[in-house]
Amino acid sequence: MRGTMRNRIRSLGVLTGAVVCFGIFGIGRPSAARAQNGVADTMPAEDDTMPPDTMPMDSMVVDSPPPPIPTYDQPPAQAPGYMWTPGYWAWGEAGYFWVPGAWVLPPTPGLLWTPGYWCASGLGFIWSPGYWGVRVGFYGGINYGFGYFGRGYAGGRWYHGRFFYNTAVTRVNTRVVTSIYVNRSVMVNNTHVSYNGGRGGILARPTVAEQAIRPSRSMTSVQVQHQRFAAQDRNQLATVSHNRPAQLATDRPFNARTHPVGPGQRIRAGDRGMTRARGVRMGGRSR
């Protein structure tokens, strides 16, 4: 299961009777209708500024686990109201790639971000996507850092329509962001494991309260675009960067202006290895 690039992507249609992850069928993830469409419900129209789309990660099972969460510095928030969305390993046509942590605006004031996470099942590793909601739900017990230490979010809170940042764990530009406080009594977690369950994985399970949380919104178009541009940059690949991607965090999400992907940065045929031929769409249609 841990072969370097011997990864197969298989349809979730074969999950019947198998051990599945928390969040795959209604716990800590978008509704069933959104699950069938991946992130399509918030995806902007295609245009020439957008890289080609990749297979929705919640439509696949991957044989090998994602690399550990790398250690990195958080860029300070440059304006009030922005939420930190931590970096994560995503899966694309050339294997795992790193989507940098980024400051983004929530779709509606008052919402908080629950990160997605990889979970080991009886068949392999399944991605449970992140979402926006009035409370932070279960994200596999993964230590994403900067307030996301495995349970809840300690990086800040909404109060009377304004977001207040806990500068004990979150960096902000205090010259422009004045809604701040300090709370050092937060969880300390030094684990870098990037998946839940299975051999070597985090053994956390959702609480009753976390199971009751329902998402308000899946990824915004800005977040979708950010992931797409990261997917096209070979320097973000785990295999090319040896699990240390070129860019780990950014104060502005990737797009055609903030992160243009030049010819020398694009995914090459050799980067795809054996993964492209083994991709399978939902329903068994090969990529």
pLDDT digits (tens, 9 = 90+) for 108-124: 999 999 999 999 998 89
Of 100, 75, 201, 215, give the one whose Cα is nearest residue 150: 201
Q: What is the pLDDT of residues 134-146, one digit of tens each?
A: 999 999 999 999 9
Asked whether residue 43 carries a pLDDT value surpassing 80, the answer given is no
Asked whether residue 15 carries a pLDDT value surpassing 80, the answer given is no
Give CA torsion, residues 149, 151, 156, 162, to 10 deg.
150
Provide the domain limits for residue 147. 9-278
In the chain, which ranges are E strands? 9-10, 61-62, 83-85, 88-92, 95-99, 101-104, 112-114, 117-120, 125-128, 131-133, 156-159, 162-166, 180-181, 195-196, 249-250
Locate 275 and state its tokens. 């993964």
Residue 264 included in any domain: yes
7, 237 contact by CB (below 8 A): no
Q: Report CA-CA distances (Å) from 31 to 26, 41, 184.
A: 6, 11, 35
Strand partners, 39: none
Q: What is the pLDDT of residues 183-236, one digit of tens each?
A: 998 767 788 999 999 999 999 999 999 999 989 999 999 999 999 999 999 999
Average pLDDT on 156-170 reads 96
Residue 227 included in any domain: yes
| The Cα angle at residue 81 between residues 77 and 85, in degrees rounded to 5 | 60
Q: What is the pLDDT of residues 48-66, one digit of tens each?
A: 333 444 445 655 789 999 9
Of 114, 106, 208, give the one whose Cα is nearest residue 158: 106
Asked whether residue 41 carries a pLDDT value surpassing 60, the answer given is no
Residue 258 included in any domain: yes
Residue 50 included in any domain: yes
- In the prediction, which pLDDT does 21 show? 67
- Residue 269's pLDDT band, with cuts at 50, 70 and 90, is low
Residue 286 included in any domain: no
Residue 287 included in any domain: no
The pTM for the full model equals 0.79
Q: Total structural domains in the chain?
A: 1
- In the prediction, which pLDDT does 154 show? 95
Residue 57 included in any domain: yes
- In the prediction, which pLDDT does 60 show? 74
Locate 166 and state its tokens. 């806990």
Residue 136 burial (CB count, 10 A): 22
Beta strand 249-250 with 101-104 is parallel
| More confident call, 177 vs 5 | 177
